[in-house]
Amino acid sequence: MDINSIVALGSLVIALVSIVVNFMIVRGQQVTKNLEAKRGEINKKLSDFYGPMLQHRHKSAKLHERFKNGRDFRTLTKLLEGEVYSGNDLLLIKEIIAIGKKCEELIEKQAGLIDEKSLRAVHLPKASRHFFIIRNAFEKRLEGDVNRFKGDVFPKEIDHILETRFSELQEELDSIDRKIRRFIW
Protein backbone atom coordinates (compact mmCIF):
# COMPACT_ATOMS: atom_id res chain seq x y z
CA MET A 1 0.00 0.00 0.00
CA ASP A 2 1.42 3.35 -1.01
CA ILE A 3 1.25 6.58 0.97
CA ASN A 4 -1.62 7.99 -1.12
CA SER A 5 -3.74 4.89 -0.37
CA ILE A 6 -2.97 5.17 3.34
CA VAL A 7 -3.88 8.89 3.37
CA ALA A 8 -7.11 8.17 1.46
CA LEU A 9 -7.99 5.31 3.81
CA GLY A 10 -7.20 7.51 6.84
CA SER A 11 -9.42 10.28 5.46
CA LEU A 12 -12.21 7.78 4.86
CA VAL A 13 -11.92 6.40 8.43
CA ILE A 14 -11.94 9.94 9.86
CA ALA A 15 -15.00 10.83 7.78
CA LEU A 16 -16.83 7.68 8.89
CA VAL A 17 -15.95 8.27 12.56
CA SER A 18 -17.11 11.88 12.19
CA ILE A 19 -20.44 10.76 10.69
CA VAL A 20 -20.98 8.20 13.45
CA VAL A 21 -20.08 10.71 16.20
CA ASN A 22 -22.34 13.37 14.69
CA PHE A 23 -25.18 10.84 14.40
CA MET A 24 -24.72 9.86 18.04
CA ILE A 25 -24.72 13.51 19.14
CA VAL A 26 -27.84 14.34 17.13
CA ARG A 27 -29.55 11.17 18.34
CA GLY A 28 -28.60 11.95 21.95
CA GLN A 29 -29.95 15.48 21.58
CA GLN A 30 -33.23 14.16 20.17
CA VAL A 31 -33.57 11.57 22.93
CA THR A 32 -32.82 14.24 25.54
CA LYS A 33 -35.36 16.58 23.95
CA ASN A 34 -38.01 13.81 24.02
CA LEU A 35 -37.17 12.97 27.64
CA GLU A 36 -37.39 16.63 28.64
CA ALA A 37 -40.79 16.90 26.94
CA LYS A 38 -41.96 13.81 28.84
CA ARG A 39 -40.57 15.31 32.05
CA GLY A 40 -42.60 18.48 31.40
CA GLU A 41 -45.80 16.46 30.89
CA ILE A 42 -45.27 14.58 34.14
CA ASN A 43 -44.46 17.77 36.07
CA LYS A 44 -47.68 19.31 34.74
CA LYS A 45 -49.73 16.30 35.91
CA LEU A 46 -48.09 16.42 39.33
CA SER A 47 -48.32 20.16 39.87
CA ASP A 48 -51.67 20.88 38.18
CA PHE A 49 -53.74 17.86 39.19
CA TYR A 50 -52.30 15.08 41.36
CA GLY A 51 -50.45 17.34 43.83
CA PRO A 52 -53.34 19.77 44.48
CA MET A 53 -55.89 16.94 44.54
CA LEU A 54 -53.87 15.03 47.14
CA GLN A 55 -53.46 18.18 49.25
CA HIS A 56 -57.22 18.75 49.21
CA ARG A 57 -57.90 15.10 49.98
CA HIS A 58 -55.40 15.00 52.88
CA LYS A 59 -56.89 18.14 54.41
CA SER A 60 -60.45 16.89 53.97
CA ALA A 61 -59.62 13.45 55.40
CA LYS A 62 -58.02 14.95 58.52
CA LEU A 63 -60.92 17.35 59.02
CA HIS A 64 -63.39 14.51 58.51
CA GLU A 65 -61.54 12.48 61.12
CA ARG A 66 -61.97 15.38 63.59
CA PHE A 67 -65.61 15.78 62.53
CA LYS A 68 -66.45 12.12 63.18
CA ASN A 69 -64.58 12.28 66.50
CA GLY A 70 -64.39 8.50 66.85
CA ARG A 71 -68.03 7.95 65.84
CA ASP A 72 -68.82 5.37 63.14
CA PHE A 73 -71.19 6.72 60.50
CA ARG A 74 -71.33 7.92 56.90
CA THR A 75 -71.72 11.70 56.75
CA LEU A 76 -73.88 11.70 53.63
CA THR A 77 -76.30 9.26 55.25
CA LYS A 78 -76.58 11.42 58.38
CA LEU A 79 -77.19 14.56 56.32
CA LEU A 80 -79.90 12.84 54.28
CA GLU A 81 -81.50 11.66 57.53
CA GLY A 82 -81.75 15.33 58.52
CA GLU A 83 -78.99 15.55 61.11
CA VAL A 84 -78.15 19.17 61.90
CA TYR A 85 -74.73 20.29 63.06
CA SER A 86 -73.62 23.26 65.12
CA GLY A 87 -70.50 24.65 66.73
CA ASN A 88 -67.25 22.91 65.85
CA ASP A 89 -69.00 20.22 63.82
CA LEU A 90 -70.72 22.86 61.69
CA LEU A 91 -67.44 24.63 61.00
CA LEU A 92 -65.72 21.35 60.11
CA ILE A 93 -68.49 20.10 57.82
CA LYS A 94 -68.63 23.46 56.03
CA GLU A 95 -64.91 23.27 55.31
CA ILE A 96 -65.16 19.64 54.18
CA ILE A 97 -67.96 20.64 51.78
CA ALA A 98 -65.88 23.59 50.49
CA ILE A 99 -62.89 21.31 49.87
CA GLY A 100 -65.19 18.90 48.02
CA LYS A 101 -66.26 21.78 45.76
CA LYS A 102 -62.58 22.59 45.08
CA CYS A 103 -61.92 18.94 44.24
CA GLU A 104 -64.91 18.87 41.92
CA GLU A 105 -63.65 22.00 40.11
CA LEU A 106 -60.13 20.60 39.89
CA ILE A 107 -61.42 17.37 38.35
CA GLU A 108 -63.43 19.29 35.75
CA LYS A 109 -60.67 21.81 34.97
CA GLN A 110 -57.78 19.35 34.79
CA ALA A 111 -59.56 16.28 33.37
CA GLY A 112 -57.03 16.06 30.54
CA LEU A 113 -54.22 15.40 33.03
CA ILE A 114 -55.92 12.37 34.60
CA ASP A 115 -54.00 9.51 33.02
CA GLU A 116 -55.09 6.61 35.20
CA LYS A 117 -58.03 4.89 33.52
CA SER A 118 -59.98 3.73 36.59
CA LEU A 119 -59.57 7.16 38.19
CA ARG A 120 -60.86 8.89 35.07
CA ALA A 121 -63.66 6.46 34.24
CA VAL A 122 -64.89 5.27 37.65
CA HIS A 123 -63.53 6.81 40.83
CA LEU A 124 -63.36 10.53 40.05
CA PRO A 125 -66.83 10.63 38.46
CA LYS A 126 -68.15 8.90 41.59
CA ALA A 127 -66.30 11.37 43.81
CA SER A 128 -67.67 14.32 41.81
CA ARG A 129 -71.17 12.94 42.16
CA HIS A 130 -70.60 12.52 45.90
CA PHE A 131 -69.36 16.11 46.26
CA PHE A 132 -72.48 17.39 44.48
CA ILE A 133 -74.89 15.22 46.49
CA ILE A 134 -73.34 15.86 49.91
CA ARG A 135 -73.23 19.61 49.24
CA ASN A 136 -76.92 19.59 48.35
CA ALA A 137 -77.76 17.35 51.33
CA PHE A 138 -75.91 19.76 53.62
CA GLU A 139 -77.83 22.69 52.13
CA LYS A 140 -81.08 20.71 52.66
CA ARG A 141 -81.87 20.61 48.93
CA LEU A 142 -81.75 16.81 49.18
CA GLU A 143 -83.36 15.09 52.14
CA GLY A 144 -84.45 11.58 53.00
CA ASP A 145 -84.35 8.86 50.38
CA VAL A 146 -81.25 7.40 52.07
CA ASN A 147 -81.41 4.11 50.15
CA ARG A 148 -81.49 5.95 46.84
CA PHE A 149 -78.18 7.67 47.61
CA LYS A 150 -76.37 4.94 49.59
CA GLY A 151 -74.11 4.26 46.59
CA ASP A 152 -73.03 7.90 46.57
CA VAL A 153 -71.01 7.90 49.78
CA PHE A 154 -67.40 8.96 49.33
CA PRO A 155 -65.28 6.35 47.50
CA LYS A 156 -62.60 5.82 50.17
CA GLU A 157 -60.34 3.89 47.78
CA ILE A 158 -59.73 7.03 45.74
CA ASP A 159 -57.09 8.36 48.13
CA HIS A 160 -55.00 5.20 47.78
CA ILE A 161 -55.31 5.30 43.98
CA LEU A 162 -54.27 8.98 43.89
CA GLU A 163 -51.29 8.30 46.18
CA THR A 164 -50.22 5.33 44.07
CA ARG A 165 -50.42 7.27 40.80
CA PHE A 166 -48.57 10.23 42.33
CA SER A 167 -45.76 7.88 43.45
CA GLU A 168 -45.64 6.21 40.03
CA LEU A 169 -45.30 9.58 38.31
CA GLN A 170 -42.56 10.61 40.76
CA GLU A 171 -40.68 7.37 40.02
CA GLU A 172 -41.09 7.93 36.29
CA LEU A 173 -39.74 11.46 36.72
CA ASP A 174 -36.72 10.13 38.65
CA SER A 175 -36.08 7.57 35.89
CA ILE A 176 -36.22 10.26 33.21
CA ASP A 177 -33.81 12.44 35.19
CA ARG A 178 -31.34 9.53 35.43
CA LYS A 179 -31.59 8.94 31.65
CA ILE A 180 -31.05 12.63 30.89
CA ARG A 181 -27.98 12.72 33.12
CA ARG A 182 -26.58 9.70 31.23
CA PHE A 183 -27.01 11.46 27.87
CA ILE A 184 -25.53 14.73 29.13
CA TRP A 185 -22.44 13.04 30.52
DSSP string, 39-94: HHHHHHHIIIIIHHHHHHHHHHHHHHHHHHTT----HHHHHHTT----HHHHHHHH
Mean pLDDT, each 10-residue run in order, the chain (185 residues): 71 68 66 88 97 98 96 94 96 98 97 94 96 97 93 94 97 92 69
Angle between helices 157-184 and 124-138 (to 10 degrees): 140
| Surface-to-core class of residue 131, CB atoms within 10 Å of its CB (0-12 exposed, 13-18 middle, 19+ buried) | buried
Model's pTM, two decimal places? 0.82
Length of the chain in terms of residues written: 185
Instruction: Give the pLDDT confidence of 18-55 residue by residue, as tens digits.
Output: 666 666 666 667 778 888 999 999 999 999 999 999 99
